[in-house]
Structure 1
Amino acid sequence: MDEKPFDDDKAFDSDAVHIEKGETGDRSYSVAAAQHAADSERKQSLWQALKREPKSVFWSVAVSTAIIMEGYDIVLVTSLFAQPAFAKRYGTYLPSGSYQIPANWQTALGTAPIVGAVVGAALNGFFTHKFGYRKVLLASLLLNTGFIFLLFFATSLGMLYAGLILCGLPWGVFATMAPAYASEVCSVTLRGYLAVYVNFCWAVGQLIAAGVLDGFATSTSQWAYRIPFGIQWAFPPFLIALIWFAPESPWWLVRKGKIEEAKRALERLTSRANHASIPDQLALIRHTNEIEDEQQSGTSYLNCFQGTDLRRTEIVCLTWAAQIWAGTSLAGTPTYFFTQAGLSASNSFKFTAGGLGLACIGTIISWGLLTRFGRRTLYVWGLGILSIVLLITGIIAAAWSGHISSFTQAGFVMLWLFIFYMTVGPVCYPIISETSAVRLRNKSVSLSRISYYISQIIGNTIEPYMINPGEADWHGKTAFFWAGTCFVFFVWAFFRLPETGRRTYEELDILFQARIPARKFSKLNVDAYAAPGERIKED
């Protein structure tokens, strides 16, 4: 069969068939079938999508659960600095009679997993493109199982440092793979919900760590810190056994020309009663890939910074980085802030645990808000409200002192946590997975996560100097700084962040290729099957 170029004018003909040549030989698909699949996805309700794709939901949840390990570690590592048993084993003796981890080692250990995660995220972009999601995730889980031994049996701070860097490698893979996989195994209707679940897993991991640390707070033996490290072994065996049977992303298989394997993957992701729709779904995937190829077809990291993909890279990178600059370094893990604001250590831990509980509740609420208000509205105005909360926190710290001021500041930080996990925290995940071009998704999500990690390193470095009594000694007035950076990102998001909800990937490709301003994304009708000059029309 001869290869024929795609004629977009035939998109209105139900018999129009596109023929292309790929790695697996000649193959064809019906453009009308792709259009029917796109229309069906947009029109189905949440309940219809759940009945149609229960297996998609299951496998997306399974892959995303790996994020719990990274969330667990974020709280674990820095919280151990305040644990007497850990400080006595790895710290130095002070004239005051206590043991402390040296400041330089606190910085090193705090940034070690982030450094490893940066490398892991970058490598994930290469490996997932070459080997697929399933194989890379299985390999990462196996490596993580081995690296935990270094933490559990560490005899020095240097050994802990090496173990944390190595553990950061698979954590970087988990963080970038979960939202990408979720966005590729489910329909438009479920995409946002399953992407937000990634953030829920992050919050759950932090909550588990807080509970574990509280359980060993009074222990003085070596098990007070070894068991929290060892608990990480509970996750990989379960996930390896589960992911072994997971289907590969049909989008990745189509990009590799493995059409029959993609069909079988769709059969495993779709309920048996809806198998008749699989040819249409497959046609939609292939048509979306072709629309992207109309302008660019490269799949390297360099392609993320060329043409219209540069704008998409800007959006995903700054969207994830904004989580840090919205005040996460101050309020995301706020125990130290609470103590510097004047609360006792006991009350600080209680407020922190309560805040993490609110984080989980906020994420659950965000599922309902996502459909009602959309990604852009929640994210933009979430940043705006967070900047106001931080500003008020700073004003209270500057204007008053004493117990009332301390508890009021703590209350506003908890309010920040609740708002963050209803808006900016969870909504980030569907934005970065939907904004990325399909062919560049692995690398685009990896770049966005790297921008987050770099911002995290900067934030975690400057925050102690601003709040520490031995440095700037700003205490609660540190909130002024983060209110300013949060407002800057609010302005950026207002003008640059588009609404991506309820759009198929081919529609988003067309809008980005046409360079539509961000605030007009939700106001236009897109017909991906019309002639090139007639695809976009005013609502």
Structure 2
Amino acid sequence: MAGGAVASAAVDSGINTLLDPRRKWYNNRRIIALNGWIVLLLITSSTNGYDGSMMNGLQSLPQWQNYFHHPSSSELGLLNAIQNVGGLAAYPFAPYLSDGIGRRPTVFIGAVIMTIATALQGAAQSSGMFIGARFLIGFGLTFAANAAPMLVSEIAYPRYRAQLTATYNSLWYSGAIVAAWTTFGTFKINSTWAWRIPSVLQGLPSILQIVLIWFVPESPRYLISKGKNEKALDVLAYYHGDGNRDDPLVQYEFNEIKTAIEYDRTVAANVGWKSLFATPGNRKRMRIIIAIAFFSQWSGNGLASYYLNKILDDINITDSTTQLLINGILAIWNLICALCASAMVERLGRRFMFMFSGIGMLVFFTAQTIAFSQFLMHGQPAAAHSVIAFIFLFYACYDVAFTPLIVAYTVEILPYPLRAKGFNVFNFTISLALIFNQYVNPIALVHITWKYYVVYCCWLAVECVFLYFYVVETKGLTLEETAAIFDGEDATNEILGNGLNAVDRNEKQPDSPSLDEKENTESLERA
């Protein structure tokens, strides 16, 4: 943990003191514009959330059930899991596109594929066509979901980077809300349009991205990695320094990024897939990343996320309208909890939030298990109501860390040369975990009912132990400083030292500062 101490000390005298206290998101038109473009990237997560909630809602629609001849539990598993199978097929290509042609073009390619796929899904004439369309949705989503969160973290203004990156995965529930209430609204349509309308609407976020993505700035880190230093400096200056290339913050970020990328290329030799596990620092990163990816899907949340209607059937809540209402309200509850947690990441810290989430999930999932077993053994209505209450409380705890932090934390602990590949491993792990959940959960719920919950109770206890021993705090650090924690003091000192030296050299230039520059300097000194 020595590297963390060094980085924390350096950042106190580094980037935080370079942030102009007058430059806020609400009074700076360039930061407002930047955050607007970031929102366009954040809705990639909404597409993913829409899918899970839509499939939950469709299973409660008699029109969908009748059209596809009442799929069995194993068929339902395939219908849900096929999207992630499509994602697996795209994983070998996604990081090479993100690093090779840029973040923006990769998002565009993913959006085009998803738009075509959702049109096919809405026009499906058979279960085979529906399954094929969902495969394509997963294939396209992988490209967009690989590039979008990285671009968010790499262009965000430093003061808001953590909150915005955490918001990315939190907006999963915004898509879930739209899907849940869309299926509720189309429930009374007495035709196949009851499920075709929700299927087609899944493509709206992708259409917006196709039209607007080219207005989003490209990642300065990507531009510098390709030798386009002047373009990178222009992006940083325009959005982070009010157009001033000599702004101390802009110079610090520019030189810190250059130094970090050069260090990873030469000193650390971070190239290729083997490099993900080649050094102690990288192995530590991957251990954490793979673990939280599995935890995000194997914490019992997969039961209600994809098979809420099955759980409600088991506790004798079989009315389709009631099921759709609970699905819609749960999505709103999750979004509120996740966005509140996203706003607190820099105050509470990653480690505290992960521990709070793990312990809270263990407590409320255990309570849910007890209530579920009591209803199945004794048929008590109060036990059924308790199951629903504990589902909501469980998700409140899940949303503290495992909704906002898993993407943000993964992106911020990876150095630039490894970011696309490491994030791809994260997404690949999630897809593997989801495929297992989507196949196994419906079958297990049918055959062993509440006893299946005990497995997750034990697993949640294991998660808490892992989180306590391995999660590293990264609160208040830049992407380069966070990555340096894992590689020791030498990397930290070199990266931070070069950034601060560049600022010192810039401040010693003989040219007379402009009036605006004088005001900035006086403001920074007061801060």
Q: Which has the higher strand share?
A: 1
1:244 is matched with which residue: 214, 218, 238? 214
| SS of alignment partner, residue 344 of structure 2 | helix
What CA distance in whole angstroms lies between the structure 1 residues aligned with 2:34 and 2:294?
29
Q: Which residue does the alignment assign to 2:429? A: 451
Does the CA contact (< 8 Å) of 1:324 and 1:456 recur in 2?
yes
Q: Which residue does the alignment assign to 1:320? A: 293
What CA distance in whole angstroms lies between the structure 2 residues aligned with 1:341 and 1:244?
49
| SS of alignment partner, residue 486 of structure 2 | helix
1:138 is matched with which residue: 108, 112, 118? 108
Does the CA contact (< 8 Å) of 2:63 and 2:190 recur in 1?
yes
Q: Which residue does the alignment assign to 1:115? A: 85
Q: Which residue does the alignment assign to 1:61? A: 39
| SS of alignment partner, residue 268 of structure 2 | coil
What CA distance in whole angstroms lies between the structure 1 residues aligned with 2:18 and 2:371?
49
Q: Which residue does the alignment assign to 1:383? A: 358
Does the CA contact (< 8 Å) of 2:276 and 2:282 recur in 1?
yes
Deviation per CA, 1:297-347, whole angstroms, max 9, x where unpaired? Answer: 333222212112122122122112211122111233433222213323343
Q: Displacement, 1:486?
A: 1.7
Q: Displacement, 1:365?
A: 1.2
Q: Which residue does the alignment assign to 1:500? A: 474
Q: Displacement, 1:351?
A: 2.3
| SS of alignment partner, residue 215 of structure 2 | coil
Deviation per CA, 1:413-468, whole angstroms, max 9, x where unpaired? Answer: 01111221233211222211111121110111111011111111112222222321
What CA distance in whole angstroms lies between the structure 2 residues aligned with 1:66 and 1:166?
15
More displaced stretch, 162-171 vs 368-377 = 368-377
Does the CA contact (< 8 Å) of 2:350 and 2:474 recur in 1?
yes
| SS of alignment partner, residue 133 of structure 2 | helix
Change (3 A) 1:436 1:409: same
Letter in 1 for 2:119: F
1:402-441 correspondence to structure 2 within 5 Å = 402-441=380-419
Does the CA contact (< 8 Å) of 2:233 and 2:245 recur in 1?
no
Q: Displacement, 1:200?
A: 2.7
| SS of alignment partner, residue 475 of structure 2 | coil
Letter in 2 for 1:473: T
Q: Which residue does the alignment assign to 1:348? A: 323
Change (3 A) 1:370 1:247: same
- 1:181 equivalenced with 2:166 (yes/no): no
Q: Displacement, 1:102?
A: 3.6
Q: Displacement, 1:294?
A: 5.1
Change (3 A) 1:108 1:371: same
Does the CA contact (< 8 Å) of 1:127 and 1:136 recur in 2?
yes
Q: Displacement, 1:78?
A: 4.1
Q: Which has the higher helix share?
A: 2
Deviation per CA, 1:245-304, whole angstroms, max 9, x where unpaired? Answer: 211100011111111221222244335265432333211211222333454233322221
Letter in 2 for 1:229: S
- 1:86 equivalenced with 2:60 (yes/no): no
Does the CA contact (< 8 Å) of 2:256 and 2:496 recur in 1?
no
Q: Which residue does the alignment assign to 1:282? A: 254
Letter in 2 for 1:509: A
Structure 2's unaligned 5+ residue stretches are: 1-9, 499-527
What CA distance in whole angstroms lies between the structure 2 residues aligned with 1:326 and 1:47?
43
Q: Which residue does the alignment assign to 1:22? A: none
- 1:272 equivalenced with 2:226 (yes/no): no
Deviation per CA, 1:483-523, whole angstroms, max 9, x where unpaired? Answer: 2212211111111111112112332333211299xxxxxxx
Aligned residues: 477
1:158-169 correspondence to structure 2 within 5 Å = 158-169=128-139
What CA distance in whole angstroms lies between the structure 2 residues aligned with 1:210 and 1:380?
30
Change (3 A) 1:47 1:241: farther
Does the CA contact (< 8 Å) of 1:381 and 1:490 recur in 2?
no
What CA distance in whole angstroms lies between the structure 1 residues aligned with 2:186 and 2:43?
25
Letter in 2 for 1:138: F
Q: Displacement, 1:163?
A: 1.0
Structure 1's unaligned 5+ residue stretches are: 1-34, 92-99, 517-524, 532-539
- 1:305 equivalenced with 2:277 (yes/no): yes
Q: Which residue does the alignment assign to 2:504? A: none
Change (3 A) 1:283 1:153: same
- 1:220 equivalenced with 2:220 (yes/no): no
Deviation per CA, 1:340-365, whole angstroms, max 9, x where unpaired? Answer: 13323343332222211111110221
What is the RMSD computed on CA atoms of the aligned residues?
Answer: 2.6
Q: Which residue does the alignment assign to 2:370? A: 395
Q: Which residue does the alignment assign to 1:490? A: 464
Q: Which residue does the alignment assign to 2:7? A: none
More displaced stretch, 121-130 vs 503-512 = 503-512
Q: Which residue does the alignment assign to 1:129? A: 99
- 1:514 equivalenced with 2:488 (yes/no): yes
Letter in 1 for 2:42: S
| SS of alignment partner, residue 296 of structure 1 | coil
Change (3 A) 1:105 1:160: same
Does the CA contact (< 8 Å) of 2:109 and 2:144 recur in 1?
no
Q: Displacement, 1:368?
A: 3.5
What CA distance in whole angstroms lies between the structure 1 residues aligned with 2:178 and 2:437?
24
Q: Which residue does the alignment assign to 2:117? A: 147
- 1:200 equivalenced with 2:170 (yes/no): yes
Letter in 2 for 1:154: A
Change (3 A) 1:148 1:442: same
Letter in 2 for 1:67: S
Q: Displacement, 1:141?
A: 1.4
Q: Displacement, 1:40?
A: 2.9
What CA distance in whole angstroms lies between the structure 2 residues aligned with 1:393 and 1:45?
49
Q: Displacement, 1:109?
A: 1.2
Q: Displacement, 1:131?
A: 0.6
Letter in 2 for 1:310: R
What CA distance in whole angstroms lies between the structure 1 residues aligned with 2:21 and 2:283?
33
What CA distance in whole angstroms lies between the structure 2 residues aligned with 1:314 and 1:352?
34
Letter in 1 for 2:442: P
Q: Which residue does the alignment assign to 1:260? A: 230
Letter in 1 for 2:229: I
| SS of alignment partner, residue 216 of structure 2 | coil
Does the CA contact (< 8 Å) of 2:107 and 2:143 recur in 1?
yes
1:336 is matched with which residue: 281, 288, 310? 310
Percent of residue pairs bearing the same amino acid type: 19
TM-score (norm 1): 0.82
